Structure 1
Amino acid sequence: MEQVPGGPERQSSTSGLPSCYRHPGVETGISCTRCERPICPQCMVSASVGFHCPECVRGGSGSGHSASASRPRTVAGGSVAADPRLITKILIGINLAVFIAVQVVGNRLLDDLALVGRWPPAPFPATQGVAEGEWYRLLTSVFLHQQFWHIGFNMLSLWWIGAPLEAALGRARYIALYLLSGLAGSALTYLVASPTQASLGASGAVFGLLGATAVLLRRLNYDMRPVIALLVINLIFTFTFSGIAWQAHIGGLVAGIAIAIAMIHAPRERRVLVQYGACALVLVATVGMVVARTAMLT
């Protein structure tokens, strides 16, 4: 978030890891427990023991096994979709549409949708801001961008990080992760930053996806060094460059990690309860921060 001024065969890669038999070039350390072919997070179907590939689940792998599950499931228990990147595409589309509207309408739209605690500053009577009852700003600011470089960086990050994560979690869990991470980033910004400092951008939500990706890779025993390096670089940028709402990045990151831990490590017999219970707790914490800050400002 930016502050606003004022039959395939096993294929091996160079790293030594095999490539997914359905997605050549995508490295993986996981194999189907039935046919033993390598499968990536997008193809994993959670089973009682290990993971199955979609073909084995449907009983069409030619291995002689019949399907033991009625529906394919992702590693987090979500349904395997025909287009596993649909929600990511929709989110990018919404962000681009709002950005175009900002270019057409101008600052008036920014004034109505950006995250700001109270405006104008004292001694003038405040008429705008979250503290004045405009709670919608906590969400609308997540889809709001002003500069080309800002939306370009965030949307590229959303595509690179979000698309594989959506495939691994499933649509419902993925959209819950994205929105709650964005809201948590907005809430922490509202709580800590100056009430007259406006901010906007999808960075809080993207940081939440980055934290969730680290949790997923750890669960799958993948090499953690690339994602850790990416996270460190982004945190350095967060605290080095001026004009960046670091509160949104940290709030989104913490929320994303917490939600991902619940989604990916939830016990099978209580999976839905644990997953959505964690989402509810993050939402309650977010609302708590907003209510506490509003009480301080009014």
Structure 2
Amino acid sequence: MSTEQSHPSETSVPTCYRHPGRETYVRCTRCDRYICPECMRDAAVGHQCVECVREGNRGVRTAVPRTPVGARAAASTTPVVTYTLIGACVAAYLAELASWNVVWEFMMLGRAIMPDGEVGGVAEGEWYRLFTAMFLHQRGGTFGVTHILFNMWLLWAVGPALEQVLGRWRFLALYVLSGLGGSVLLYMVGAPQSSAVGASGAIFGLLGAYFVLGRALGRPVGSIVFLLVINLVITFSVPNISWEGHVGGLVVGAALAAAYGYAPSARRNLFHIGAPVLVFVLLTALVLLRTAELNPTL
């Protein structure tokens, strides 16, 4: 009597390459390895494994969010630059309250005899006054504390929207160059002993920029026109206000905003970088010319 021994089938069932205990007959369309439902990722044709999907995503560039003028959108909506500028102005005002010397040392001044008997001012090489004056405010006189309160309110009102559209560095350039533009115009056409303090030149630059960008982007500008008209009326009707600072800031701010808002998309970065640099070079040249006129020996 013969016996016949049976053998198990040697045909193996395919399993997932990541989970060997799971039977599957589906393969990755990219690497051809077997994948279970947990490892499947839908593809244009069939399914792919997680590793192939990850590898494919490495070559895909994620679009960077941009604002309407082409600036990189900030990860946070907090207007960091606006709040920093307000904080700097408040800190400078507190320093003024502590000592009058802060005003004398850092206010905008062309050329005059200082309280210590020395001649000082921009014409004497104190060029920093062109910048520092935009962070100081009157602590007494005609306006008192309302000077800084009104300017900071305007900065808080229009600054965040502009910063969000322009991005941080464009907005900062707009603010500083507008303030500088106001100081330079006062230096150019005012009497050498003319002095001024205040962020008004920079604020007027923001108002002008808000109007220009609003027009460029098709946004309503009625409210900003109202603010501009009211402030210009105050500028030319109330005594002891530096109209040069206001007008200079307004012109520079509007010019920069035009470069930001109307730049052709193909050369947007060139305009956005070139415009502030060009404005700074022009203002520097005007300061040098005026300084040579007031103090040829410098």
Where on the TM-score scale, by shorter chain, does this alignment land: which range? 0.7 to 0.9
- How far residue 224 of structure 1 moved from its aligned partner, in angstroms, is 2.6
- Please give the alpha-carbon distance, in whole angstroms, between the structure 2 residues aligned to 1:114 and 1:271: 36
Q: Deviations over 1:19-52 (max 9, x none)?
A: xxxxxxxxxxxxxxxxxxxxxxxxxxxxxxxxxx
Change (3 A) 1:217 1:169: same
In structure 2, distance between residues paired with 1:202 and 1:180: 12
Q: What are the ranges of 5 or more consecutive residues in structure 1 without an aligned counterpart?
A: 1-66
Counterpart residue number, 2:108: 115
Q: Alpha-carbon deviations, 1:158-199, whole Å to 9, x = none?
A: 000111111111101100100010111110011111111211
Unaligned runs of 5+ in 2: 1-59, 140-144
Name the residue aligned to 1:142. 134
Counting aligned pairs with the same residue, the percent is 45
Q: Matches of 1:291 and 1:209 in 2, distance apart?
A: 26
C-alpha offsets along residues 104-133 of structure 1, whole Å, 9 cap, x if unaligned? 12x111110001011218xx9852100000
Higher mean C-alpha displacement, 132-141 vs 81-90: 81-90
8 A contact 1:139–1:182 mirrored in 2: yes
Tell me how far apart the structure 1 counterparts of residues 160 and 196 of structure 2 sit (CA, whole Å).
26
State how 1:1-298 maps to structure 2 within 5 Å.
70-81=63-74, 82-105=76-99, 107-120=100-113, 127-147=119-139, 148-298=145-295
Letter of the 2:113 partner, please give it: P
Shift of 1:268: 1.5
Q: Normalised by the size of structure 2, how large is the TM-score?
A: 0.74
Alpha-carbon separation, structure 2, partners of 1:229 and 1:149:
20
Q: Rg: which structure is higher?
A: 2
Higher RCO, Cα 8 Å, sep 6+: 1
**Kindly tell me: are residues 69 and 253 of structure 1, through their superposed partners in 2, closer, same or farther at Cα, counting changes over 3 Å?**
farther
CA distance in 1 between counterparts of 2:80 and 2:129 reads 25
Contact 2:217 2:261 in 1 (8 A): no
Distance, in Å, in 2 between the alignment partners of 1:235 and 1:180 is 20
Q: Quote the RMSD (CA, aligned, Å).
A: 1.8
Q: C-alpha separation between the residues in 1 aligned to 2:122 and 2:132?
A: 12
CA distance in 1, matches of 2:110, 2:167: 34
SS in 2 for 1:78: coil
Shift of 1:273: 0.7
User: What is the identity, as a one-letter code, of the residue corresponding to 1:251?
Assistant: G
**Shift of residue 84 of structure 1?**
4.0
Contact 2:82 2:156 in 1 (8 A): yes
Amino acid at match of 1:111: W
Contact 1:76–1:170 (CA under 8 A) maintained in structure 2: no
